[in-house]
Amino acid sequence: MTDLASRPAPPLPRRAAPALLGYAAVRAVGLVALALWSAARDKSALTLLSARWDSLWYTRVAELGYGYEVRLPNGDVHSNLAFFPLLPWLERAVSAVTPLSYAHAGLVVGTLASLGAAWGIFAVADQVYGRRAGVCAVLLWAVLPVGIVQSMAYTEALFTALAAWSLYAVLTGRWVTAGALAALAGLTRPVGLALVAAVWAAAIASYVRARRHDSPAAGGADPAPSFVRNRSAGASHGARLGTRALGMLLAPLGAVGYVLWVGHRTGKGPLGYLDVQAGWRNGFDGGYAFARFVAEKLTSFPSVLAGVGLIVAVASLIWLYVVCVRQGQPLPLLVYSGAVVALALCASSYFGSKPRLLMPAFPLLLPLACALARARTPRSAMILGGAAAVSAVYGAFWLNGSGPP
């Protein structure tokens, strides 16, 4: 593992250029495949990317504000209060200064955010494991089977960008920046709480280590945990404590602020947002509903393969997380990815959405990135190229069919 203090400044675009160019190439291949597949089915690829499923809900928030809802025949109420506000705010801002519609503004935001996410993932992986691993991590994130979502007017790319740069700020001791970015992530998706947990865990660990250093028995040990170095080595303990505390204070403001506002808006208090989610039949049950869903898949032959595939997928996620722990990943990355996985798998509905809900958990890709980085370039290129082709075809098929609900 590289010394995390050796490169305190964010990697310049020139250093990240191979990763960003490779990422852009993968996404371009995916978009070409989508355009060809959509044209063959007499559909508009642009519409599929900008105005379908959740994209429509975000566009309505940008256009009409909050308060729109749909009442279903079974009595369920789908309210747009379930959708966090940062993406609609950005869509509105872009549309205000350009001739773009809100939907197309969402595509612009998503495209820029995906590049920001790729750069942020590179920054984190480069900081911990080196440049080659950083490039491989970005390309692995690009070739995920549901990578087409990164090119949609969805929040996954925006959230991942904010999360990656917040984690990078934690790794380099920029506590206020980390907290501010975590607050913005909390205005993007409910899973922003995973990032809050990572910032808090890292700050507390850093504080405990600093206290040990300040104790007479410490003998002058390094005051910071191995995953973070304070940029001002001569800064006072009080100053370091102040920046940690401010970062911790900022981190939850986005998510908590929106949830409290929804509770006030609905008149149901702090738990009002849970009622809104209940209207979508969504909640947190510890994974019981998902386990039952998988079990049901195993009861009949046509769906048994899907059930086995789900079991293998969940086992693979757990295995990757264990490898991350054994690999000695920095604490904030472990806390963040573990929380993202837990929140995604333990949600009680929208099982088809779980692949894209897991997309922000990019630290899980770092063991694979390190393995590819150690391999010879032709072999790594062949593996990533094949994965990019499969991802492009699957993304085109997926978005023209059931797609990401």
Residue 235: pLDDT band (50, 70, 90) is very low
Helices then strands (H, E): number in the chain?
A: 18, 2
381/401 Cα distance (integer angstroms): 30
Please check whether residue 358 lies inside any domain of the structure: no
Start-to-end CA distance of the chain, whole Å, equals 39
Mean pLDDT computed over 210-231: 54
Mean pLDDT computed over 302-318: 88
Q: Which among 371, 365, 378 is positioned nearest to 125, based on CA atoms?
A: 365
To the question of pTM greater than 0.85 for the whole model, the response is yes
Number of domains in the chain: 1
348: its two tokens? 């009680």
20/24 Cα distance (integer angstroms): 6
Q: What angle do CA 129, 196, 227 make, to 5 degrees?
A: 30
Q: Which residue type is seen at 99?
A: P
Range of the domain at 50: 13-281+376-400
Q: What angle do CA 212, 217, 220 make, to 5 degrees?
A: 70
Per-residue pLDDT, 10: 62
27/106 Cα distance (integer angstroms): 17
Please check whether residue 325 lies inside any domain of the structure: no
Crossing angle between the packed helical segments 13-40 and 102-129, to the nearest 10 degrees: 140
pLDDT tens profile 156-177? 999 999 999 999 999 999 999 9
Please check whether residue 389 lies inside any domain of the structure: yes
Please check whether residue 370 lies inside any domain of the structure: no
- Average pLDDT over the chain, rounded to whole? 89
Q: Are 167 and 124 in contact (CB under 8 A)?
A: yes
- The answer on pLDDT for 7 being more than 90 is no
Mean pLDDT computed over 367-383: 95
Query: Which residues contact residue 248 at a Cβ distance below 8 angstroms, ignoring those fewer than 6 apart?
Result: 175, 179, 199, 200, 203
pLDDT tens profile 138-158? 999 999 999 999 999 999 999
Please check whether residue 48 lies inside any domain of the structure: yes
Mean pLDDT computed over 189-215: 88
78: its two tokens? 């789908």
pLDDT tens profile 328-367? 999 999 999 999 999 999 888 777 788 899 999 999 999 9
Q: How many CB atoms lie within 10 A of CB 142?
A: 26
CA–chain centroid gap for 130, Å, is 21
Please check whether residue 311 lies inside any domain of the structure: no
- The answer on pLDDT for 238 being more than 70 is no
Residue 5: pLDDT band (50, 70, 90) is very low
| C-alpha torsion sign, points 283, 284, 287, 289 | negative
- The answer on pLDDT for 322 being more than 50 is yes
Please check whether residue 97 lies inside any domain of the structure: yes
pLDDT tens profile 246-268? 999 999 999 999 999 999 999 88
Per-residue pLDDT, 213: 66
118/8 Cα distance (integer angstroms): 19
Per-residue pLDDT, 352: 77
99: its two tokens? 């001739």
Please check whether residue 152 lies inside any domain of the structure: yes
**Three-state SS at 377:** helix
Residue 13: pLDDT band (50, 70, 90) is confident
Residue 232: pLDDT band (50, 70, 90) is very low
Per-residue pLDDT, 215: 59
Q: How far is CA 54 from CA 146, 154, 360, in A?
A: 15, 7, 17
Q: Which among 68, 158, 44, 55 is positioned nearest to 104, based on CA atoms?
A: 55
Per-residue pLDDT, 310: 86
Element (H, E) at 78: strand 77-79
Q: Which among 19, 11, 30 is positioned nearest to 395, based on CA atoms?
A: 30
Looking at per-residue pLDDT, the higher value among 303 and 218 belongs to 303
